[in-house]
Amino acid sequence: MKPHGHRLSAIARALGTTVNGDGYDPVIEHLVIDSRKPLPEEGALFVALKGDRHDGHRYVPDLVDRGLQCALVSDGTSAVPLTLRVRDTLDALQRLAGWHRAHHQLPVVGITGSNGKTVVKEWLYQLMRADEHIVRSPGSWNSQVGVPLSVWEIRPEHTLGIFEAGISQPGEMARLQAVVRPTIGVFTNIGPAHEANFSSDLEKALEKARLFKDADALVYCADHGVIAEAIDQSRLDQRLTLRAWSRERSAWLHVVREETVPHGKRITCINESTEFTFEIPFADHASLENALHCVTLLLHLGMDTRRIAERMPLLQPVAMRLEVLEGRNGITLINDAYSNDLASLTVALEHLDVVGRGRPRAVVISDIVGSGEDRDALYQRMAALLRRAGADRVLTVGTELAARTDLFEGRATHYTDAQDLIRRCDPAELAGHAVLIKGARGFTLEQVVHRWQRQVHGTVLEIDLEAIRHNLNHYRAQLSGGTKVMAMVKAFGYGSGALELARLFAHEQVHYLGVAYADEGIELRQQGIQLPILVMNPEPVPFEVLDRYRLEAEVYDERSLLDAADHARLFPAMPPVHLKLDTGMHRLGFMPAELPRLLHLLREHPHLRVASVLSHLAASEDPAHDAFTRQQIAQFTAMADAIDATLGYRPFRHMANSAAVRRFPEARFDLVRLGIGLHGIGSDSAETAQLLPTASLRTPIAQLRQVPVGDSVSYGRRWVAQRPSIIATVPLGYADGLSRRLGNGVGRLWVHGSAAPIVGSVCMDMCMLDVTDIPCQIGDMAYLFNTEHPVTEVARDLGTIPYEVLTGIAQRVKRVHLQG
């Protein structure tokens, strides 16, 4: 593989500057803009960006202390061994990325528009990743900074680039065009975003169209009149190949029919006289539009209609960054209380569909502010969206919605403002509902979220569901097409909340959920989770209870097998069982010496249906025990073969945990069981670097006090101030899951990126931090772990494993789940 980076001297020449330093000429592979994140071990160039509220130059000395060798600066800092000095570091970053782009002659898709950029990008990736080595924008990195950082990731091995570009004011797109230089363009749509900075939608469309000035082809919807006008005025039709799709008129791709099917939409199109049909697992208008952009591009690239029809039904939803909170009275709150327009409402309602599957749904929604659309037409479209979303109740806030009661067909209750809603609506009326709270910022609907959420403890465990989704896809990418996934949600979902994880995994279409005890499975069933659930640990639960909740039991000895067989004789429709084999873990399961007896019992009870045969690896993550692991795999295979021969059919097999997915491909069999890997902990540091941290635990500073020399802090007087000290008290104690072993300087929390040692003994509900050298104030957040300082660091301080830290976080700590 060719090196990804460039010599620092070459970068300096490209930027029209020189290297200030000692003559060393490193290869630069990484561009760094966030000083809070760990530095790469080598090959990093820190770009000291300036903004309205930040200046990267301030953090250069700290970075040098951490090993930084190279920086791109505009101020006269001399602390860095090697510096490139330019007039404007943002401009230099963009020119550097454009220069890097020019080194790679791969086809690049550039996507712009008001909405749908990220979805189209991610769907194109899903649709083409089997054929192409794709580099694409991470998340929604479509800004003046995000685009060059994305383009910098192009490597020689990539065969296709997909980048999104967003603008908020005139003059910005020309700078991004010089970075991306797309060969193919996708123009999604024009909506109300950033309309205050443009005189008209046409002006905005003309600005966005600048992205395609040197492209070879452009995909767009001809039904968007303003986009068609922008293409005409920009004379793009004279310079590139237009690939338009349309519902309303003849086009290169003509949509002739759309039909609702049980799991989405069936779409019939004509492309150059050829009619074909495909289905997508979505039914909303935005998804249809995004899907048609994708299909048009795939056709332009030469993909045949058969493959398109095979792949479109497999599209997966693209996550949004919404908060999911546990509310009072069994309510699940979806907090999107900071924006309101029809495009984002469509996205939020899709998430309501995920969270509210099988439950009543309610929407709290405010007037829309700042849209230039005719108000009656605007709210008619809103009402139609809410109807399609199956909202059982609508609670509107604002005078404009109150004046349009007839649109909601008797399902709506109107309130003047957030306080009126809080006073007059008892959340008990919405017991058991999934409730989307969606409002423009001025309506302060976050007050409603605060009043209706169940836990208001200031300490919060924040779980990034998008990161969990990323980690799931990391493992899925290593599996062959037929290998299924079981997601483990035992122990309260590894401390992250079993129900929300189960909903995520259901949405991601994993095949099984794994729990430790029947109670965990019963709770998931009561909350509407329909996926198959395997109960893996022993407890005296009657099979009639497991049967009632459609829970599948692990059978691990003669007693449990006979109990299952007795129940199956009376109730032949009971869920199948799973046979656990002990191949060396020596915890549960039939030993190799017990195999003859097991086979005899299976022959005696042919009515007992066996879904799977499984075993548990003892040390799959440890290279020192690889020979033992391979011995386990061989033993399992031999025992499972004998079971197959006895049964006369082949139950599916599973043995691999997260670590074994990468380290022992031969152990993947028919299904893999993913646990800690989903939470960002890989089998080694190399794999962990490919995963995303999923959780952060934060707590607010409740009090600051000055402690003189000689005074002690906390119980037992185990810590005494050796200097005048500033001590912060935070509401995080051992009842919340903070181990007392972290007291007296063993552990730390992080305040504004600096380590604040825990001083004195950890109390039940609080602990104290030494913040003498950290500027802070009451209300500032202290983090036990987060993205920059992952849970593995806490586990290391405790001399334990991350499992113990995560599962030890008490349920009284509020969980906030983030989407997108």
Query: So which residues are the catalytic ones?
Result: 490, 715
Cα separation of the two ends of the chain: 33
Task: List Cα–Cα distances, 412 to 357, 383, 415, 443, in angstroms.
Answer: 21, 10, 10, 18
CA 188 to chain centre: 23
Q: Which residue type sits at 658?
A: S
680 vs 687: CA distance, rounded Å: 9
Residues contacting 17, CB < 8 A, separation 6+: 84, 85, 86
Number of neighbouring beta carbons within 10 Å of residue 67: 11
**Spatial CA neighbour of 453 closest among 475, 469, 440, 437:** 437
Query: Is residue 153 within 8 Å of 106, Cβ to Cβ?
Result: no
270 vs 657: CA distance, rounded Å: 46
The structure tokens listed for 225 are: 């009149």
249 vs 251: CA distance, rounded Å: 6
The structure tokens listed for 599 are: 């086979």
752 vs 485: CA distance, rounded Å: 39
* Sign of the CA dihedral with 666 first, then 668, 673, and 677 last: positive
Tell me the sheet residues that pair with 6: 28
629 vs 631: CA distance, rounded Å: 5
The structure tokens listed for 651 are: 């139950």
* Sign of the CA dihedral with 343 first, then 345, 349, and 352 last: positive
Q: Which residue type sits at 512?
A: Y
Do the strands 160-164 and 108-112 form a parallel or antiparallel pair, or are they unpaired? parallel
Contacts of the segment 122-131: beta carbons below 8 A, 24+ positions apart: 122/318, 123/290, 123/291, 123/294, 123/315, 123/318, 124/162, 124/294, 124/297, 125/162, 126/311, 126/314, 126/315, 126/316, 127/294, 127/298, 127/311, 127/312, 127/315, 128/160, 128/298, 128/301, 128/303
